[in-house]
Amino acid sequence: MLFSKKLNYKNSVHFDVNSLERGHHKLMYKGIPIIKCPFDYVMYQMIFWEIKPDLIIEIGTNRGGSALYYADLLDIIGHGEIHTIDIDDVVFKEVKMHKRIKFFRDGYQNYDLKNTEGFKKIIVIEDGSHTYDDVKATIGKFKSIVSVNSYLIVEDGILDKLGWKKKYNGGPNRAIKEFINQDDSYIIDRKWCDLFGINATFNTNGFLKKIK
Ligand SMILES: C[S@@+](CC[C@H](N)C(=O)[O-])C[C@H]1O[C@@H](n2cnc3c(N)ncnc32)[C@H](O)[C@@H]1O
């Protein structure tokens, strides 16, 4: 009977990187898939509010949920553009139609840095293939155009903890470690990496702040 049915709930609480990984593939923004760790999802709006960027470059558009979320955040701030780059075009039309978003289809390798001329405050978010070679190459390509006091955010170093390090040839963490050890114009900003606990983010050690 409807009114005598007992609520069935669990008293235990359990989640970990594996359950977060499964869940983050089910996230949507305005009905469009956005593949984002929920901790990072909320940190992005804090970072954008702090930096108030003129330009956000996103490497790895996928369906475009993240680009649309970033663009709406820029609408709230009232300023800024997104250049989002992929090698595939599975991008929802609502994303392409947003007035703040420009979609580039030819991969980060063919993105012309001249497109960044005239923008002063620039954030770069690397969310592409996550292989060591690609992450290393994108850091190398984009590090100079990030503005001082802004961020080059490298996503998904968490893949080490998921047991996928070998598959990605060391992935983001290997590229970050090498970069930070040889370039003193960037630091790993622990303010974001450790906001919810030590590296409680999918972007482990990946919030790279340009300091000079
Ligand atoms: C993890 S998904 C991006 C997710 C998206 N940023 C989000 O949060 O919803 C990675 C994307 O990187 C793209 N990608 C792979 N190689 C690339 C390259 N060389 N340049 C740009 N994007 C690339 C893939 O096609 C894929 O769509």
pLDDT in tens, 48-71: 999 999 999 999 999 999 999 999
Query: What pLDDT is stored for residue 6 in this prediction?
Result: 61
Judge if the beta carbon of residue 86 lies within 6 A of ligand 1: yes
Can you list the positions of beta strands (E) in the chain?
A: 28-29, 32-33, 55-59, 81-85, 101-104, 122-126, 151-154, 186-188, 207-210
- Return d(Cα 150, Cα 209) in angstroms, integer: 6
Query: What pLDDT is stored for residue 2 in this prediction?
Result: 52
Low-confidence ranges of the chain (pLDDT < 50): 1
Judge if the beta carbon of residue 128 lies within 6 A of ligand 1: yes
Query: What pLDDT is stored for residue 11 in this prediction?
Result: 78
Q: For residue 42, report the distance from its CA to the centre of ligand 1, in Å.
A: 20
- Return d(Cα 155, Cα 184) in angstroms, integer: 20
Residue 209 backbone dihedrals phi, psi, to 5 degrees: -100, 130
pTM of the model: 0.95
Query: What pLDDT is stored for residue 13 in this prediction?
Result: 87
Residue 24 in tokens: 């983050």
